[in-house]
Amino acid sequence: MKNFTFRQLKLLEAVARNSSFTRAAEELHLTQPAVSIQIKQLEDEVGMPLFEHMGKKIFLTAAGREMYGFSRAIAQQFTDIRRVLDEMKGIHHGKLDIAVASTAKYFAPYLLAAFCKQHAGITVNLNVTNREAILRELADNIPDMAIMGSPLKGRDLVAEPFMSNPLVVIAPPDHPLAQGGRIPLQTLLEESFIVRERGSGTRNAIERFLEEQNQTMTTTMEMSRNEAIKHAVMAGLGLGIVSVHTLEMEFKLKRLVVLNVEGFPILKDWYIVHREGKRFSAAAQAFKEFVSQEGSKLIKIPDPNDR
């Protein structure tokens, strides 16, 4: 086997992690043909195929899985080198890799903006994705840390709460239940609901709440984005249960209201989550401390009565 380059291993890691040549190219600011050529050259060097195509999907071969494991280990060593050098420079330089749950995208940029205002030399890579993808990335030690709901126990993760995350029931302003006073939970559950997909933090919290009440709900639709849920509720397709942090604009435009329901809001927290024993750069440590100390002060919980 001849020599192959770290650049090729980096491309292999990106393609395997994204399960896509196109997404890997976008992530690395390359063209898709350039990525394909480099992977083909790497396969020629190895003497075996590293990916196999099944329809529109790609999968690692046995040789590809071995190469992927080595590429991840090598990439981590380069990351450690970068962090050591960042620590020597202090928190005026360096890179910060943050993964954010899709619901947290409504406030996370404001936290980052306030932090970067104090530390202008830091470069931030922000990845907004769903809960399961964040847990996979944390398992692979990709981000410095994540902002998300509480992860499951037993994953070698440290989760520290920094701000409350109330879940509320939303309806169009003209919905019959929006016209009266406090709504019994049993009355609410006679309605149909549009909810997040199974495995999401919001869905898990709703299911735990209903299980504690020995109740069930009628689900007419599952959606993977809060924006889709809000638009479906506005269209009259059912009620929704979402984080109040997602609703600032809808409150101002008077397109949605929060129902006054027995047992609500469901009280959750937002967490800073990272690998146990994670070695932070000076920039990452500073951001973690900043969010823990300032997060709840900087972010205002949207008020349903905001005009």
pLDDT at res. 144: 93
Which tokens is 27 given? 């992530």
For residue range 276-307, what is the model confidence (pLDDT) as tens digits?
Answer: 988 888 888 889 999 999 888 888 777 666 54
Residues paired with 163 in a beta bridge: 270
In the block, residue with structure tokens 């529109």 = 56
- Which residue stretches of the chain have pLDDT < 50? 1, 307
The span from the CA of 106 to the CA of 85, in Å, is 33
* pTM recorded for the entire structure: 0.67
The span from the CA of 69 to the CA of 62, in Å, is 11
The span from the CA of 41 to the CA of 58, in Å, is 17
For residue range 106-156, what is the model confidence (pLDDT) as tens digits?
Answer: 999 999 999 988 888 788 999 999 888 999 899 888 899 999 987 777 678
Q: What angle do CA 87, 90, 91 make, to 5 degrees?
A: 110
pLDDT at res. 283: 85
pLDDT at res. 305: 62
User: Which domains are assigned to the chain?
Assistant: 6-73 (1.10.10.10), 84-162+269-298 (3.40.190.10), 165-268 (3.40.190.10)
pLDDT at res. 307: 45
